[in-house]
């Protein structure tokens, strides 16, 4: 019903105030819990709030946040990129292979990895738009395909200098020191380069999605593709672009991991998908937005990072981590969809 008959009996002022409080609480629930956690950890472990520890938290969540931002863009067009973790792992193996086996330098390697990410994203997008395969299924297929493909050139071995290839040759190349700097350099001796780069990428994506007309169209395509098409938007182009963006971000994440660990570890990317999807879904609840958004995704990733870091400091066993993540995710989803959600 429309807002007419304002002269009617207004609900008691106390109820209005309570409702406003409830809304405020819902909007900031994640931040309130975060503040409480920080206070708790700090009281138990005085080094928790040191700059070094804070940057180590950010370092630990940077790649997850980056991939989460990619997933966010695909969620915005009402899609879902399940292959983003595999793209990161593939990019990790590809850059290692490029340097160790093919003796590429840092620049060429990064360019190759990002191009591969874009191509995989394009393939995802075309499977979805041209062949009309549902998003989840297309990217699930791509996920398996990449997870398998990355094993083939090395016969399933991790890539380091001296690895024996399936044809019996021994790889003589080394990781370019410049490449390793991407993962290990600290600005002002403090801020890890990946954290700074992810912050820049996230900020740029946030600006794209929240402040430009292109961002509005991404969300419009997700809200009602027919209506967006009727309103003059090239909806298929946007849908494909979302997967290309997600693919490039995934590949960049893989580069960061490769540059940090300095070897092509076959298992390094295994938990990335679920962690980044969880960050994006926790992001729904941030500021009570109720949909995928870049700021929420980054906040969600940081929230999980702080929680795990603090619990580790308090000597909570490592194997409870997944349980904690799951509990946070369920809590955030309950907040988004259940508890007092708007109709």
Partner 1 sequence: MEPPAPRRAQRSPLPTRAVPSSAASTAIEWRSVSKHFGATIALEDVDLGVRRGEVVALLGANGAGKSTLAKIASGVLRPDSGAVTISGRPVALTSPRVAREAGVAVVHQRTDQLGAPGVDIAHNLVLDQLCGGGHGWLARPSRIRARAAAIAAEIGLQLDLGADFTSLGPAHRQLVAIARAVAADASLLLLDEPTASLSASEALTLFSVIDRLRSRGVGVLYISHRMADIGRIADRFVVLRNGRIAGEQVRPFDFKLAIRQMIGRDVETASEPRRRGAIVVGVEGLRLTRASAPFDLEIAAGEIVAVVGALGSGKSRFLRTLYGLEPIVAGKMSLSGAPWRPRSPAEAVANGVFLAGEDRWATSLMPAATPASDIAGTIALPHRKAWFPRGVVDVARERKAALGAIEALRIRCRGPSDSLEQLSGGNQQKVVLGRWRAAPSRLLLLDEPFQGVDIGARRDLIESLRSSRAEGATLVAVSDVEEALECADRVAVMRNHTVVATHEVDRSGVDAIVSALSAIEDSSASELRL
Q: DSSP of 67-122, one letter per residue?
A: HHHHHHHHHHTT---TTHHHHHHHHHHHHHHHHHTT---HHHHHHHHHHHHHHHHH
**Residue nearer to partner 1 on the CB measure, 222 or 269:** 222
Tell me whether residue 266 or residue 286 sits nearer to partner 1 (CB atom).
286
Choices 194-202, 221-229, 254-262, 273-281 (CB under 8 A): range interacting with partner 1: 221-229
CB of 177 to partner 1, least distance (A): 39
Does 13 participate in binding partner 1 (rule CB under 8 A)? Answer: no
Task: Name residue, tokens 């989803």.
Answer: 333
Question: Is there binding between residue 212 and partner 1 (CB under 8 A)?
Answer: yes
Find the binder of partner 1 among 79, 121, 222, 269 (CB under 8 A): 222
Beta carbon of residue 234, minimum distance to partner 1 (angstroms, whole number):
6
339 binds partner 1 (CB under 8 A): no
What is the distance of C-alpha 144 from the center of its chain? 19
CA distance 288 to 255: 33
CB of 153 to partner 1, least distance (A): 41
Say whether residue 144 binds partner 1 (CB under 8 A). Answer: no
Nearest distance, CB of residue 11 and partner 1, angstroms: 7
219 near partner 1, rule: CB under 8 A: yes
Residues 234-273 that bind partner 1 (CB under 8 A): 234
132 binds partner 1 (CB under 8 A): no
DSSP annotation of 164: B
Q: Give the pair of three-digit tokens for residue 155.
A: 């016969």
**Cβ contacts of residue 255 below 8 Å, gap of 6+?**
91, 92, 95, 109, 110, 113, 114, 182
Beta strand ranges found along 121-174 (DSSP E): none
Longest dimension (CA), the chain: 86
Pick the closer one to partner 1 by CB: 227 or 316: 227
Q: Residue 2, interface with partner 1 (CB under 8 A)? A: yes
Which of 28, 186, 216, 263 contacts partner 1 by CB under 8 A?
216
Q: Which residues have C-beta within 8 Å of that of residue 36, sequence separation ≥ 6?
A: none
CA R_g for the chain? 22
Rule CB under 8 A: say whether 137 interacts with partner 1.
no
Contacts to partner 1 by CB under 8 A:
1-6, 8-11, 211-217, 219-220, 222-224, 226-234, 289-291, 293, 342
């Amino acid at each position: 019903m429309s807002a007419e008959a304002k002269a009617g009996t207004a609900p008691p002022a106390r109820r209005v105030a309570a409702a406003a409080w409830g809304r405020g609480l819902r909007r900031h629930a994640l931040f309130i819990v975060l503040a409480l956690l920080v206070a708790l950890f700090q009281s138990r472990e005085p080094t928790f709030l040191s700059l070094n520890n804070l940057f180590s938290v950010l370092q630990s969540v940077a790649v997850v946040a980056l991939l989460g931002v990619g997933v966010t863009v695909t969620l915005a067009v009402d899609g879902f990129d399940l292959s983003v973790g595999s793209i990161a792992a593939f990019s990790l193996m590809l850059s290692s292979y490029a340097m160790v086996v093919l003796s590429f330098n840092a620049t060429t390697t990064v360019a190759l990895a990002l191009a591969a990410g874009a191509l995989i994203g394009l393939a995802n997008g075309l499977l979805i738009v041209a062949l009309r395969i549902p998003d989840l299924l297309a990217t699930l297929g791509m996920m398996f395909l990449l997870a398998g493909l990355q094993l083939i050139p090395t016969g399933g071995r991790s890539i380091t200098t001296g690895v024996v290839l399936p044809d019996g040759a021994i790889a003589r190349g080394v990781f370019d020191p410049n490449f390793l700097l991407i993962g290990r350099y600290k600005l002002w001796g403090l801020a890890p380069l990946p954290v700074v780069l992810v912050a820049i990428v996230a900020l740029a994506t946030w600006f794209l999605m929240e402040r430009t007309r292109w961002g509005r169209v991404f969300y419009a395509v997700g809200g009602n593709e027919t209506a967006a098409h009727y309103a003059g938007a090239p909806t298929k182009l946007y849908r494909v672009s979302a997967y290309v963006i997600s693919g490039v971000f995934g590949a960049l994440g893989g580069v960061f991991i490769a540059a940090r660990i300095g070897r092509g570890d076959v298992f390094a990317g295994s938990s990335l998908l679920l962690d980044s999807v969880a960050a994006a879904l926790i992001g729904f609840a941030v500021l009570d937005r109720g949909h995928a958004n870049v700021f929420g995704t980054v906040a969600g990733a940081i929230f999980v990072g702080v929680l795990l870091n603090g619990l580790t400091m308090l000597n909570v066993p490592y194997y409870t981590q997944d349980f904690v993540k799951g509990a946070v995710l369920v809590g955030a989803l309950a907040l988004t969809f259940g508890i007092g959600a708007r109709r």
